[in-house]
């Protein structure tokens, strides 16, 4: 299926999660478009049909959603319209040192805003090592599997 993987990243952590996730989606047989929400590609990306939106975001001060992501959500609302909640899955990076109540706060705010029923993927700072890669692949399993048809849900493509 066609997936839009849209992310906001200030210093590269969320971009790296997006990159790993995009590779995982491609491995599962999906056509995935990766979009930096702070680029000039937003209008073009939003004009394309998509079955699911994977939304990634870093967290700003005290659990807030960064401006560039708020702008993207406004473009979505004012353009094609807000997608159905179950077709949106949210991931984020953050740092626990900002307080556990604010950890990955933007990702959780976005999931609430869209009414996404999927678990929010949280990665602390830059993903590294097998554990983070495994966590990302398992999350993709959980959020994508309900939408996959037998032809693109080939178990042989899955990460162990
Ligand atoms: C000004 C500022 C405020 C931040 N506030 C939070 C916060 O409230 N909660 C959190 O989890 N992370 C917070 N962070 C940490 C970033 O969200 C984290 O480093 C993230 O991985 C950055 O992602 P990026 O490299 O994709 O920009 C803050 C970072 C900055 C620079």
Domain residue spans of the chain: 2-157
Average pLDDT in the 24-44 region?
A: 97
Structure confidence at residue 160 as a pLDDT band (50, 70, 90): very low
Does the C-beta of 97 come closer than 6 Å to ligand 1? no
- pLDDT above 90 (res 159): no
φ/ψ of residue 132, rounded to 5: -65, -40
Does the C-beta of 65 come closer than 6 Å to ligand 1? no
Each residue's pLDDT tens digit, 47-59: 999 999 999 999 9
Structure confidence at residue 66 as a pLDDT band (50, 70, 90): very high
Does the C-beta of 98 come closer than 6 Å to ligand 1? yes
Nearest CA to ligand 1 atom 28: 60
Q: Over the chain, what is the mean pLDDT?
A: 94
Q: Which atom of ligand 1 is nearest to the CA of 94?
A: 11
Whole-angstrom distance, CA of residue 79 vs CA of residue 81: 5
Nearest CA to ligand 1 atom 3: 61
Domain 2-157 annotated CATH 3.90.850.10: no
DSSP string covering 107-151: HHHHHHHHT--SPPEEEESS--HHHHHHHHHHHHHHHHGGG--TT
Q: Which two tokens stand for residue 3?
A: 């997936």
Each residue's pLDDT tens digit, 101-155: 999 999 999 999 999 999 999 999 999 999 999 999 999 999 999 888 776 655 5
Q: For residue 99, is it left (φ>0), alpha (ψ between -120 and 50) or beta? A: left
* Per-residue pLDDT, 107: 98
Secondary structure of residue 38 in the 3-state scheme: coil
* Per-residue pLDDT, 149: 78
φ/ψ of residue 9, rounded to 5: -145, 125
For helices 129-144 and 13-27, angle between their N-to-C axes, nearest 10 degrees: 60
- pLDDT above 70 (res 97): yes
Whole-angstrom distance, CA of residue 91 vs CA of residue 55: 6
- Burial of residue 149 (number of CB atoms within 10 Å: 0-12, 13-18, 19+): exposed
Cα–Cα distances in angstroms (integers) from residue 125 to residues 13, 47, 94, in the given order: 6, 31, 6
């Amino acid at each position: 299926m066609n997936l839009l993987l849209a992310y906001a990243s200030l210093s590269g952590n969320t971009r790296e999660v997006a990159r790993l996730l995009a590779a995982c989606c491609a491995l599962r047989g999906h056509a995935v478009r990766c979009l930096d929400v702070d680029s000039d590609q937003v209008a073009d990306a939003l004009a394309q049909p998509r079955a699911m939106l994977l939304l990634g975001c870093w967290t700003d001060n005290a659990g807030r959603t960064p401006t560039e992501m708020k702008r993207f959500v406004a473009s979505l609302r004012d353009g094609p319209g807000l997608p159905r909640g179950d077709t949106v899955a949210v991931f984020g990076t953050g740092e626990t040192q900002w307080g556990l109540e604010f950890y990955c706060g933007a990702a959780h705010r976005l999931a609430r805003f869209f009414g996404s029923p999927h678990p929010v993927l949280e990665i602390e700072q830059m993903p590294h090592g097998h554990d983070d890669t495994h966590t990302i692949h398992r999350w993709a399993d959980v959020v994508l599997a309900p939408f996959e048809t037998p032809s693109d849900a080939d178990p042989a493509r899955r990460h162990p």
